[in-house]
Structure 1
Amino acid sequence: MNLTNFVTSFVFLSFVFPTWSYDRVTGESFASRSEVIAANGMVATSQPLATQVALDILKQGGNAIDAAIAANAMLGLVEPTGSGIGGDLFAIVWDAKTMKLYGLNASGRSPKSLTLEHFQLQGLDKIPAYGPLPVSVPGAVDGWFELHQKFGNLPMTTLLSPSIEYAKNGFPVSELIAHYMQSSVPKLAKFPGFKETYMPNGKAPVKGQIFTNKDLAVTYEKIATGGRDAFYKGDIAQSIAAYMEKQGGFLSYEDLASHTSDWVEPVSANYKGYDVWELPPNGQGIAALQILNILENYDIQDMGYGSEQYIHTFVEAKKLAFEDRAKYYADPNFNNIPVAQLISKQYAKKRSLLIDNNKAAKRFDAGLNDGDTIYLTTADKEGNMVSLIQSNYRGMGSGMTPTGLGFVLQDRGELFSLEPGHNNVYAPNKRPFHTIIPAFVTRNGQPWLSFGVMGGGTQPQMHAQIITNLIDFGMNLQEAGDAPRMLHSGSSQPTGTKMSDSGKVHLESGFAPHVRRNLIQKGHILQDSVGNYGGYQAIMRDLETGVYFGASESRKDGQAAGY
């Protein structure tokens, strides 16, 4: 085609299809791809190899719970920068037989021999991020077996077999995981066991390098054949305890042997006809419900996605919810937490009256008087669905890498407060405040959406944004995750750290310049940041046909796949 014909064709097409050159046929301009759609099963995880392992389990006759366990085990191998059996786990399960949601809190507790006085004698006002002091009991393995015992179908040997083979024979490290492993080296390489496990030839793996973890393969084999007691009462527990004692830590064999998970009732708030479900504290899930309850007092749809008024209202609602989070969220076995009041519509209405539509608040007081992660979701042909999140905290965790086991212990204990009288103050055998939260949405008592967004303390903000993207702004499942995100940092923390100013608003690329300018005029402090906007996976179920829609995070390595 010569230049004259090309120009003529361009003009003709521009006249007939005036937006052809910049609109996507399949969705919004920011959408990375269309949704994945399948009828028999769906898996969405943060790593393609884990997605494929879980999909294979479904095809072998496993259910959504089996697939979730297999995927989580695989992620502990291929994504050690955000997960592993040294960490904790939370899950929400929709059981098709009973037509009911079940919540699992598989988070561990602090060592029984470590006291608040120890930190005080050390002159510490904050628990260190790395080393032996922030280590709490890892709850993930017990979580697997609780899920499996209640809902599982295939034997655990089948579920862990793919991860064992990959650990023995190796897998190519992705660009993103290589980056995170390399950035962990300066912080963690000094701790015994870390180099031997994660730095073959003295260096962290690079993109495309085949990485093996034979120690983890042996550990998984022991768990597969010996059950949860192989981890908590067998030689794995003895190895962990011996290592921790040698490093001056407090986590003991008795701490591991006495560990239990808890089945809990999920809690919900209705947002414009949809019931959004989260788990109660010690996690922060109800903060998402508090944000949504406040937003329901505004015409969010009329404000428009990406408008300064929507962003302003969202940020102010977040500030209100997070002040309550800082004061009240903690281990319910140590505190009487007013969950019902915090997530009530009446309370949200009262709190929303504090928002000035034209001015950013410097701070709010709590209302009542008185890092990285992995997320995955699975669904099967029977209609079972799993929303599961699992983490070491701070990426690869504490750096404590027990000899010969192939994993790092979490540093979740860093999130305790050392402030006497605080709900989340450190105490022996206590669960710390937790950032990782799975979510679920039902409509008229039917399962509609299983989703989560990785991202440490920012997760409630992102949960609320996904819901408003879907319900208020009419985005499809992939668009809802791909849409540019906003985050607010600076609220008071459950560790006791106070907010000194209005904090900062972080806007991902994609928001208009005039929106940024108008937010500044309202008193918001804007700060650009890169790479801190989480990692999203979701499965939506068509309420009429039962067909599944899957979506995964374009900012990370995630993949959704079905059959």
Structure 2
Amino acid sequence: MRDLFRAGRSEAMAPNAMIATSHPLATATGIAVLREGGNAVDAAIAAVATQCVVEPQMTGIGGDCFVLYAPAGRDVIALNGSGRAPAAASVSTLKERGIDEIAQTSAHAVTVPGAISAWTRLHADHGSMPLDRLFRDAIAYAEGGYPITARVAFDWERAAALLADDEHARGLFLPGGKPIRAGDRHAQPALARTLRAIARDGAAAFYRGAVAEALVARLKALGGLHTLDDFADGETAAGYVTPISSNYRGYDVFECPPNGQGVAALMILNVLGGFDLADRLTLAERIHLHAEATKLAYHHRDVLIGDPEHLPHPVETLLSADTTATLRARLSREIAGRPALWHEPEHADTVYLCAVDRDGNAVSFINSLFHSFGSTRLEPATGVVLHSRGFSFRVIEGHPNAIGPRKRPMHTIIPAMLRKDGRTIMPFGVMGGHYQAAGHAAFLSGVLDRGMDLQEAIDAPRSFAFDGVLDVEPTVDEATRERLAAMGHKIQLAASPLGGAQAIWIDAERGLLRGGSDPRKDGMALGF
């Protein structure tokens, strides 16, 4: 039990159903759907639609989506809702245009958005309520306005300079030339019209007709290679894939397969599984082991992971006992190893949510624009902010993550699911760009190695070995930072909070759901 004299929050507990999101209005939307008899999928779609309005810097319908869904008593299902590059995109085409790297605000950073394809596919197969009900709150907030919460305002201000470079984004998101402040009210009426059209006509309303025509025209005006055929193909782009998994401390950890980085999370856990990470270790020792395992796993991710149709090695090789043993042998418990060679761009703007309904169905759901406000390119008639996921493509022939016709780029957004003896125990996720795989491992270690409750594990000080630097949150004490520096780590205080997590633990024996939500964001876990 937490120290009630100290600031913090307790786990949420409920007997029937629960949802955890990074925004209070989204959590309220989801819990209302669950109370009305909607299932976990209904609640997740309703909540993320709301987040696409009230957290526009983090996510949107112009982004991508990945889902893990565990129907009660059945196997985990994975849905890949990431978009593809235009059919005309290639390394040679970009090089002919003098492009060696894809800029965040470039039209080439915009793959055909996959989120709506994923939502409608998941809804058709597993939802129970009509889309017009699920989108009701999102449409109302977009039309009538919503208050800006503290973390949203913090992110909004940091993105102001890029927003100012797009005339349409500037008009909508910088009224009077200034970012919206906490407590101010904001509306997106054009987005409300697009959401209403999707609620009425499904994915076709986004990938065909007036919306698609407007988006393609905007992208072409920016120099893009997109066509109406590319968007039409995007309507059915989302598809089910076989999840990957590894065992950690007797629990099966499920992730989506590449083109996501879930394999990196499993590789970190595999390496850490050879060490005793219980509380007798000092914080410095625990951070060091985690940092070294992260560097090893991410180096392999950067070199080997991209579109699954272009991988040089199967995932099974990366997760094999031989690979794990080789990586673990390279890890020193006393000295920081050389930093991995990082080649992928930094990005950190995503929303993650999870839900469990009264029947025990569990969903782990993540939706992203990539950067803050994505590419910052807004199509004004539709209200759609286009993501920047193609920014991670390499303009290098032969690289697994090289841009190519209808290829999917490497993604960092990864939902996760924990199971034991064939039973779902916990949907969970840690948003935050590169940090996500490392965050999954750190969170699970807190719960499974140290016996923390979900909220304690989420609240715990975070660190991240990235680009030759060990970022630590200011809550890591000075003595620990000095010890890590003595081990050879280049210490840097994190400029902003590392990631944001949500999780729900299903305690079937006690008929109890326990939930946690990250205080680094504005959201909460609620149940009934």
TM-score by length of 1: 0.90
Residues 40-81 of structure 1 show CA distances to partners (whole Å, capped at 9, x for unaligned) of 110100100010011111111110000000001000000001
Matching of residues 22-37 of structure 1 within 5 Å: 26-27=2-3, 32-37=8-13
Return the alpha-carbon distance in structure 2 between the equivalents of residues 536 and 29 of structure 1.
24
The residue that corresponds to 1:68 in the other structure is 44
- Residue in 2 that maps onto 1:233: 208
Q: Which runs of 5+ in 2 are unaligned?
A: 343-347
Give the structure 2 partner of residue 13 of structure 1.
Answer: none
User: Structure 1 stretches of 5 or more lacking a match?
Assistant: 1-24, 491-502
Q: State the shift of 1:474 in Å.
A: 0.7
Residue 527 in 1 paired to residue 492 in 2?
Answer: yes
User: What CA distance in whole angstroms lies between the structure 2 residues aligned with 1:361 and 1:28?
Assistant: 40
Q: Per the alignment, in what secondary structure is the counterpart of residue 442 of structure 1? A: strand
1:148 partnered with 2:113: no
Equivalent residues of 2:89, 2:403 under 8 A apart: no
The answer to whether structure 1 residue 452 and structure 2 residue 437 are counterparts is no
Is the CA contact (8 Å cut-off) linking 2:163 and 2:173 kept in structure 1?
no
Q: CA RMSD in A?
A: 1.7
Shift, 1:110, TM fit:
0.7
SS of structure 2 residue aligned to 1:448? strand
Report the Cα distance in structure 2 between the residues aligned to 1:163 and 1:485, rounded to whole angstroms: 32
The answer to whether the Cα contact below 8 Å between 1:27 and 1:34 also exists between their aligned partners in 2 is no
Q: Count residues with an aligned counterpart.
A: 521
Aligned residue number for residue 12 of structure 1: none
Cα 1:92–1:117 change in 2 (3 A) is same
1:488 matched to 2:453? The reply is: no
Cα distance, 1:163 vs. partner? 1.0
For 1:302 and 1:206, the matched residues in 2 are separated by 42
- Measured after TM superposition, the shift of residue 477 of structure 1 is 0.6
Label 1:180 to 1:537 Cα distance change in 2 as closer, same or farther (>3 A): same
Distance 1:168 1:212 in 2: 6
Which residue identity lines up with residue 143 of structure 1 in the other structure?
A: A
Alpha-carbon displacement from aligned partner over 1:213-237 (angstroms, at most 9, x marks no partner): 1111100110000111111112111
Residue 95 and residue 130 in structure 1: after superposition, are their counterparts in 2 closer, same or farther (change >3 A)?
same
Q: 1:30 to 1:151 in 2, by over 3 A?
A: farther
Match of 2:308 in 1: 332
Partner SS for 2:438: helix
Amino acid at match of 2:485: I
Q: Determine the structure 1 residue equivalent to 2:333.
A: 357
Matched, 1:293 2:270: yes
The aligned counterpart of 2:17 is 41
Query: Match of 2:370?
Result: 393
Query: What is the CA-CA distance between 1:522 and the residue it aligns to?
Result: 1.5
Equivalence for 1:245? 220
Matched, 1:204 2:179: yes
What is the aligned-residue identity percentage?
38
Q: Name the SS for the 1:242 alignment partner.
A: helix
Q: Which has the larger radius of gyration?
A: 1
Question: Residue 67 of structure 2 aligns to which amino acid in structure 1?
Answer: A
Distance 2:312 2:511 in 1: 40
Q: Deviations over 1:418-472 (max 9, x none)?
A: 1222111111210000010001100111111111111101111110000100011
How far apart are residue 514 of structure 1 and its match? 2.7
Aligned residue runs from structure 1 range 362-381, under 5 A = 362-363=338-339, 371-381=348-358
Question: Normalization by structure 2: what TM-score?
Answer: 0.95
CA displacement at 1:559 relative to structure 2: 1.0
CA contact (8 A) 2:163 2:174 kept: no
Contact 1:101 1:266 in 2 (8 A): yes
Conservation of the 8 A alpha-carbon contact between 2:79 and 2:239:
yes
| Distance of 2:284 and 2:307 partners within structure 1 | 37
SS at match of 1:408: strand
Deviates more, 1:72-81 or 1:109-118: 109-118
- CA distance in 2 between counterparts of 1:518 and 1:320 reads 21
